[in-house]
Each structure stands twice: as C-alpha cells, then as structure tokens.
Amino acid sequence: MHFAFLCKDKPGALQVRLDTRPDHLAYLNALNAEGKLAFAGPFLGDDGKPTGSLVVVKAETIEAAREIAANDPYAKAGLFAEVEVKAWNWVFNNPEA
C-alpha cells in the first residue's frame, strides 16, 4: 500500500532544510534501497525555493507510514509545520502496474 506525506515547512526554516538535507537524502536513499520509497521531492514557492515536501512510500499500515515520516531527519530537525500522512492509490504511470 502507498502513503503520501504532504509536508509543509515552517516559515523561515530554509536554513534548517539546507543544513539537514544530507541526512534527509541519506534517509531517502536507505528507504529506496529497502524498496520502501516510491518517489519524493520538494514543493517550490513562487521564488523557486522549497516550501515543503511530497514523499510517497510503501508501507503495510498507516502506522508504519507515520513512523517512516516521523523518522525523517527533516521531521526530527523540526523543519515541518505540519505533516499529513494519507493512504494513496497510484493509478496512472505506476511502474509496477
């Protein structure tokens, strides 16, 4: 089952994002190696700077997905104002379909 993380950065937290980015990328690479990461990337503001993140993972339950979201270094660093975890059905362009 897929779950989408809709993450909104706190205002003025760009430096937290930049400082934590290497650890965040290492975390995503580890999820990818485990076959848990479907895709990920930042939302961008009108100025082209990141304002949040979209991460889609594979997990057995929403609780497991929430644990993955909570363990992201961005979340641990306090980057996000909010994180919404939602079950998601990948219908179009799913490479596994």
Model confidence pTM above 0.75 = yes
Residue 15: per-residue pLDDT? 96
Residue 80 lies in a domain: yes
Which domain range does residue 68 map to?
A: 2-88
Write the single-letter amino acid at 13: A
What CATH number did the domain enclosing 17 receive? 3.30.70.1060
How many angstroms separate the CA atoms of 13 and 69, rounded?
18
- pLDDT at position 40 over 80: yes
CA 76 – CA 87 distance, rounded (Å): 22
Q: Is the pLDDT of residue 84 over 80?
A: yes
pLDDT of res. 96 = 81
Domain assignment present for residue 93? The answer is no
